[in-house]
Structure 1
């Protein structure tokens, strides 16, 4: 059964007022930062969807600050997603043609990469660094501890947090 969003009449009115009063401004603000009207329109809509889903609207005097904060996060997510996608496509370009993937397979792998990226991004910087040093550079926990200037036990904790974050990914 699909989840439904239940909002009170007051919440619906305040979201409507927020949208009417600030949508055009937010889209212009995003367009200036992104230089792309299509991305700006998408992220403006996504900003209001986030507010709608949360069910919490800011006070009138905090509206633009609140919208800006959400939109900045979405801009960062968009940039990270595009950097990851570009790196993935570049890696695919170096594969022999016998190993090439269909468009559907590429899209599925990219979705999985984005899920892993989001899980790693949610970690503390030290936990993320320890995990990447282990998985990408092949360093042992002792080598990671020495490079990062932390104890062996800290590295174990960082790796446990990374494993938990990756295990909690919803792969459906």
Structure 2
């Protein structure tokens, strides 16, 4: 009997079997990459949380370890990027006067926002990304951006069109 969305217990029994058969392997695989048992266990947990969101895919797996490692790699990349954003943010606020330093709650909100922006802009070429950020965050016009990047205004127009289209498509796929 093949699992279907109308029979969630079969879907989740497949997830349970996947977990039982491959959890130890996945933690070991992650431990070799991270060189840290606690983080490996956390990442394995996150990987299976992702799997729980896609139980219908589990029944059709031919290479479960390849699928799990692919998910885990993506989560590792996301984690690394989040850590980079967090380090850059903490470096940026390190020299602020004490009265200007955001509260812990504001920091969390800002970090979550920066992480979402970073994910949204992922995949853009560096100049396109820079042009977009100069326009949206610094309020620069196309002429000023062209001067800053050493390109023509028409190049900036193309960069902006590309970035806006990319953001629109990325936002709709979330």
Common fold by TM > 0.5: yes
> How far apart in 1 are the matches of 2:20 and 2:91?
42
Using the TM superposition, name which of 7-16 and 84-93 deviates more: 7-16
Mark the runs of 5 or more structure 2 residues left unpaired by the alignment.
Answer: none
Q: 1:140 maps to what in 2?
A: 142
Contact residue 131 and residue 162 of structure 1 kept, 8 A: no
In the alignment, what sits opposite 2:35?
A: 35
Flag the 1:83–1:130 CA change in 2: closer, same or farther, 3 A.
Answer: same
Q: CA deviation at 1:45?
A: 1.1
Q: How much is the aligned-residue C-alpha RMSD, in angstroms?
A: 3.2
Matches within 5 A, 1:72-151: 72-121=73-122, 124-126=123-125, 129-136=127-134, 140=142, 143=146, 147=151, 151=155
Matched length:
161
Report the TM-score, using the length of structure 2 for normalisation. Answer: 0.76
- In structure 1, the gaps of 5 or more residues are none
Instruction: Report if the CA contact (8 A) 1:22-1:64 is conserved.
Output: yes
Structure 2 SS opposite 1:65:
helix
Secondary structure of 2:102's aligned partner: coil
